[in-house]
Structures are given as structure tokens and as C-alpha cells.
Chain A
Amino acid sequence: MAQGWLQIALFFAVLLALVKPVGLYMARVFSNERVFLSPLVGPIESFTYRVLRVRPDEGQDWKEYARSLIVFSLFFWVALYLILRTQGIQPFNPQGFGSGPWDLSFNTTSSFVTNTNWQYYGGETTLTYFAQMAGLTVQNFVSAAVGIAVVVALIRGIVARSGSALGNFWQDLVRILLYVLVPVSVIGALFLVSQGVIQNLDHTQVFQTLGGGQQALAQGPVASQEAIKELGTNGGGFFNVNSAYPFENPSGLTNFVELLLILVIPAALTYTYGRMIGSQRQGWAIFAAMSVLFVAGVVVVYLAEQHGSPAQHAAGLHTAAFDGSTGGNMVGKEQRFGIADSSLWTAVTTVTSCGAVNAAFESLTGIGGAVPFVNLGLSEVVFGGVGAGLYSMLLYVLLAVFIGGLMVGRTPEYLGKKIGAREIKLVSLGVLFTPLTVLLSAGIASAAPAAKQSIYAGINPSGFSETLYAYLSQANNNGSAWAGYTGFVQPHAPGNAGAYGLTFTDLLGGIVLVGARFVPILFVLAVAGALAGKRISPAGLGTMRTDNPTFVFLLIGIVILVGALTFFPAILLGPVSNGLTPRLF
């Protein structure tokens, strides 16, 4: 295991080293300053404003900002739905795929517009290359940019000393795309191709294998989607088995780079935050709280997976590592990643809202599998999705300030701004909306007869885990899955002939996806609007500090209290039941 711990430590060290330079760069981009890419990108930027008829310097208050964001997302929802419904007439369709069922398309559209990328379908068996590129790849970019724009607006609201402007949504969108997401994706995609990720528009390759059988290998423009899939914490695989498939993730090195792409923006945004509010210590305090929860998760998964599963032990298989064998629970894991990299990925993809996987979650051990549940139960505030993680965490910061203020008996204030009743109401609604959505939808799905056929494992702890995880993942816009759970039946894969959606499951999921993305965004922007223009009172002796270890501790406590305790009973029924018993079902 020493080598595994080394890999994990090294990953964290490299991530840590990237936080400052990337965070600083993003702060300059969001503050509309010149950066090293400006000579190259500047002309494209002004051209884009002209084409889109945007006046970039025109400030928007929170309602205007929210309206632009919602209208923009709604238009893209319609566009993506139309793309998914018209596959039969599209170019770049060598397999001749028709469209999938309408209810599946409803779920998929809602999933990609909300930066979730929950997938009931398998990409390589259902989608044209046109839909993958012009539909899904585009959403990978824009839904990520929307998330980042919201946190930028919130930061501006926290900082603003006068007026009500939170910046301009269109300008933020364009700059995030042109200066951050697109350049990194181009370089990332080409690097991935150099390591073996495919990038072509060919028909499926069919050939005689060495052993005399036949194999068909699906092709496609994979690398260009893979890069932004990780960078934008989207997570929707080109292939059904996502980053476990060698054409998406061929080696230990690509695995490492993809993990960095997933975490770099969410982690660096804490530095960006510190920079923009003028106090790096505040940013580092948030980073520290996130890191503690993240590292704890990695350690638990790795230990549990290395121990092996009850089914393996009952079969008489020895799961100890020895020279030349990783040991541990290799069910649903790839040899090139082994236990350590699969465990690290499992934690990274669930603390962020990425949701890409390089191992089968449903085959994780009970305790190892409890970690993704807890991470999602914490409402994706441990790094979280690009932008979404930090804005959700800032709600928790305000909540912690409020509770801390009550404890010391002072009017709560954050960075010199008083947190009043209106703010704390909005914060509470923003914090509680997602967990309530999860409990409600998972409860409905567990009780509804129509949802029974979605479950793969049957009526047992694994089957309950599937249901609960499906709605945890969709409501938190993560997109990873206990993959037995489905909303799509495809009897003649590849192709959509005879395929049908499970309407109840698809629609419930789609509604949850959209609601749990955009309602909290509205609360966040409302908080930003309420904070903007508040007077700043100078810090006094009695002011509670929010940049020291005490506050980090308080913040972690609040996150665990609100997030995990909401789900504790439910998680007990699922993965923890599996983890505590050697019984087989």
C-alpha cells in the first residue's frame, strides 16, 4: 500500500502547487484584467460580443443576471433536446443511429444542461457523433461556464461596497469560455490523444481477433469531449463505462492528468476567491476545510477497497496484496489503475460534482461505497462542481458565521458585512433545497411501483443504494451512478431500435436535475444581491474571525451536521448495511 499512498500524496501535492497560479490567473480573468492570453484571445472576445450583441461593461443587478442565465440555459435546453430528437437526419452518423425515446431525451437534456451528465444511455450505442459533439460537448462547456459565472457574481456581491451590480453574465460567460475552459481543453485533448485516447469520425472497426473471434471497436471524437468532461466537472462518458474504458483513459498517466483536470478549477477557485475579496487567508481557510473532508474520504475508500469484499472472501479468494498482485477488491476495477487510483478517483469524482468513474461504483465494498454517498450527502461543497462547489460552500460559510455569531452573542457579520434576517433566510433555503429534493425524490422512487423495474439488484441493501444514489447524484448534479439503476431499456444495442425509456424514472430524474440546479442558483444570486452594496463596518476586537483554524473546524462541523446527518439513516440502510455484515444477499 505504500506505493498507493505515495501516489495519492503526490496527487495532492501537485494539486496544491496548482492552486495559486491557476487561482491567480482566474482572478485576473474574472476581474477583466489583461492576462498572457489577451493578445491572442482579446480580438476573438470583442468579436464575440459584437456577434452576440452584448455590451460587456453594462452591469446587471442580481435579477438581471439571473434572468440572462435562466433564459440562456432554457434556450440551450431546447436546442439540446432538438438535437437528441433529430439524430436520424444528422451528419457524422456512420452507424446510422436513430433517436432514442423522448423520455430518455428529456432526462439526458436536463442532465447535461445542469452540468450533471447523469446517463441512463450508453453513448457509444445510442448517440451520433454529431449529438456527442454539437449537443453534449457544447453543454460540457457552457453548463460549466454557467456554474463558474454564478460564483463570480456571488463574490462580486460579497465585495461590492456600493451599487447593486454583480457584473455582466454574458461577459463572464464569454471570458470563462475563451480564457479558461477552451484553451485548457484544447491542450488537454491533444495530450490525451498522444497517450492513446481516440479522436476520429470513423465507423466502428470490426476485425478478427488473434484468438479467432470477432471484435467490434466503437470509434468517435472522444478526446475532445474527454478533456472538457473532466475540466468542467461534467462527467458524462463518451462510452457507457466512462473513464474505465481504455479509449477514454488508457494509462496511469492519463488517469493522473484527468484527475487533476477534475479538481484544478474547484480547488483553485478558493484562491481566486481570496484574491478577489482581498484576503488570501479567507480562501485558504475554505480550501483547508474542503481538503480535510476530501482526504478523509480518500483514506476510507482506499482502506476499505484494499480489504476486499465479503463475496470475494466467501468464495475463498485471498485478497491480500503480494508481489505482482494488487490484492483487494478488484471486482469492477481495471488492472492499470489498481486499488489506489480507483479509490482516489472515487473520492475525487464525488467530492467534485464530476461523476465520471474509472471503476464500477456498485461493486465497491460497503464502507468504501459509503464514501460517495457521504460526499454527495454533503451537497457537493467539498471542492464541488466548477463554481457550484464554491458558491454552495459560501452558503455554508454564511451559515457558520450566523451560528458562530449566535454562540458568541454578536450580530453575525462576514468580511465586515452584517448578515441579516433576509440573508440568512435565503442561505437556509439555498442550503436545504437540495437535500430536501433528494429525500423527497428518493422516497417517492422507493415507494412507487413504477420505479421497481429501474432497480437491478433487487429488494436488498444494494437495491436501495441504487435508488438513493440515483437521486442523490441527480439532485447534486454529480452524475455518477450505482449503475444498475436505469431509466432506459435497449434490447438491440448498438442502436435504438426497439429501445424504450422508463418514463417515471426518466421524468422524475429530469425534474430533480433541473430543480436542484437552478433553484439554488437563484437563492445564491439573491444572496449576492442582498450583500451587494451593504456598508462595511471595520473589524473590532469582538469580531469573529473567519480565517483561522477555529473557523475551519466550525465550518467542517456545520457541513457535516447539515449535510451528512440529513442522510445518515438512509445511508445506514444502503451501503453501511452491506459494510457491516458478511452476509450475502
Chain B
Amino acid sequence: MRRDLITSLLAVVVLTAALGLVYPLAVTGIAQVVFPGQADGSQVKLDGRMVGSKLIGQEFKGRAYFHSRPSATGYSGDVTFFGNAGPNSAELRDAIRANLAAYLKLERPYDRSLTRDRVPVDAVTESASGVDPHISEANARIQAHRVASVRGLPLDRVEALVSDHTDGRSLGLFGEPGVNVLQLNVALEEEAPLK
């Protein structure tokens, strides 16, 4: 018993030092040398100024930008939580209904053929993280009409930018394709800046 006590005490100290300090700090050191960009959050810059992380979605308002998916957290990157709306929640129904109406109201003037059954699910539902950096390709194709019109760019050009900033499935296999909203909007700003 006494030996168990001594060894346990030593183990707490030794393992805490080895696994709790040496391991994470060594990984930090290597990561900072080998993958500094990724380790610090894959920052996106515009004119030398940090405007976000390519992995973290942010809020876009106004008609000149592609819009991110709805967020339960106000696109918070330091206080994250799930929306926790249940599948049979009347509040969820009302929220989706309102999102759907708002989406149609915003996009219909630029894409007359847009009907309710063509609205992709991601456009009107809250993501898990609250900062989903992506929207679906169908969602981006619809919004492209509006952005092209407002920015005075040919639709072809905006659609080309959309496909440039579409992250395909990893290795062509894993996950779903998604359009990176921040990077797409940065590209738009570079191409046709708002006055």
C-alpha cells in the first residue's frame, strides 16, 4: 500500500510534467516552426490587415456580399455553443420560416426564377459551430446573381470567383464541397471594391 502511495504521487508529478507540459509545448514549438500559418489560425489578410480566419465564418450584411449561414451565436469565435433547437420545436419552425422568407425577399429581385423549393437547406438553418465558414454551392449560385448585379460585375465573373473559392471534398472523397464565404468576399473586394 505504501509503495502504491509513493509511486502514485511520483506518477502524478512525472506524468503531469511529461504529458501536460513537455508534450503540448513540444508540439507547439514544432508546429510554430513547421506550420506557423495554420498553427496561428489560417489568417486572411486584405491590404495587409487581418480580416479573419479562412476557417471561421463571419457575419456579412448588405447586398454586396455573399452571406454566411445563419448562426445561433452571432458568429462568436470566443463563446461557442449549440443552438440546441429540437427536431420538433415550434420555435425552430418559426425561425426557419422567417429565414426562408428573408432569403427569398433578398434574392428574388435578382433571380426571378427562384422558388421556395430551390432554396438549399444550409441557407436557412443554423450551423453547429455558429461559425460555419462555408455555404453550399447551390446557395452561392443563387447569391451570385445579387452580388454580380450590385457590384456591377458580369455574372460569369462572379460565378468563376465562386468556383475558385469552392473547397471541394478533401482528396476528392471526404466531406462535402462548400464555398468559403470570407475568401470569396475578399476576392470580390479585391476585384471590384465597394466605394
Which residue on A lies nearest to B186, using beta carbons? A210
Binds B, one of A396-404, A407-415, A554-562, A576-584: A576-584
Residues of B within 8 A of A254 (CB): 170
Q: Are B58 and A211 in contact (CB under 8 A)?
A: yes
Residues of B within 8 A of A337 (CB): 175-176
Q: Are B170 and A253 in contact (CB under 8 A)?
A: yes
Residues of A within 8 A of B27 (CB): 186, 189-190, 193, 199, 221, 223-224
Q: In the assembly, what is the distance between CA of A359 and CA of B40, in Å?
A: 24
B192 contacts A by Cβ under 8 Å: no
Q: Are B170 and A584 in contact (CB under 8 A)?
A: no
Residues of A within 8 A of B41 (CB): 198, 200, 205, 217, 219, 247
Residues of A within 8 A of B55 (CB): 196, 246-247, 250
Q: Are B11 and A310 in contact (CB under 8 A)?
A: no
Q: Are B121 and A327 in contact (CB under 8 A)?
A: yes
- A438-481, CB < 8 A from B: 456-457, 461-462, 465
Q: Are A244 and B129 in contact (CB under 8 A)?
A: yes
Q: Are B40 and A202 in contact (CB under 8 A)?
A: yes
A539 contacts B by Cβ under 8 Å: no
Query: What per-residue 1/0 map shows which CB atoms of A321-353 lie under 8 Å from chain B?
Result: 011111111111111111011100000000000
Query: What per-residue 1/0 map shows which CB atoms of B1-13 lie under 8 Å from chain A?
Result: 1011111111110
Q: Are A210 and B46 in contact (CB under 8 A)?
A: yes
Q: In the assembly, what is the distance between CA of A201 and CA of B11, in Å?
A: 26
Q: Are B170 and A312 in contact (CB under 8 A)?
A: no
Residues of B within 8 A of A79 (CB): 12, 16
Which residue on A lies nearest to B96, using beta carbons? A315
Q: Are B62 and A211 in contact (CB under 8 A)?
A: yes
Which residue on B lies nearest to A493, using beta carbons? B79
Residues of A within 8 A of B49 (CB): 207-208
Q: Are A335 and B20 in contact (CB under 8 A)?
A: no
Q: Are A362 and B84 in contact (CB under 8 A)?
A: yes
Which residue on B lies nearest to A218, using beta carbons? B78
Q: Are A137 and B20 in contact (CB under 8 A)?
A: yes
The minimal Cβ–Cβ distance linking A344 to chain B, given in whole angstroms, is 10
Q: Are A457 and B128 in contact (CB under 8 A)?
A: no
Q: In the assembly, what is the distance between CA of A494 and CA of B124, in Å?
A: 28
Q: In the assembly, what is the distance between CA of A200 and CA of B5, in Å?
A: 36
Q: Are B87 and A224 in contact (CB under 8 A)?
A: no
Q: A204-B78, A217-B78 are in contact. Are A225 and B89 (CB under 8 A)?
A: no
A182 contacts B by Cβ under 8 Å: yes
Additional A-B contact list (18), CB under 8 Å, known A133-B24, A338-B176:
A124-B78, A190-B31, A197-B38, A244-B127, A246-B53, A250-B42, A252-B174, A315-B96, A316-B116, A324-B136, A326-B120, A327-B121, A332-B126, A332-B127, A337-B175, A362-B86, A483-B81, A585-B89
In the A-B complex, the 8 residue pairs with the smallest Cβ-Cβ separation, listed nearest first, are A252-B175, A324-B138, A338-B176, A134-B20, A253-B170, A325-B120, A252-B174, A244-B128
Q: List 26 A-B contacts (CB under 8 A).
A: A52-B10, A67-B4, A68-B7, A186-B27, A190-B31, A193-B35, A195-B38, A210-B46, A210-B186, A213-B59, A253-B170, A253-B171, A310-B88, A311-B86, A315-B95, A324-B139, A325-B121, A326-B122, A332-B85, A359-B128, A363-B84, A457-B84, A461-B88, A465-B86, A483-B84, A493-B79
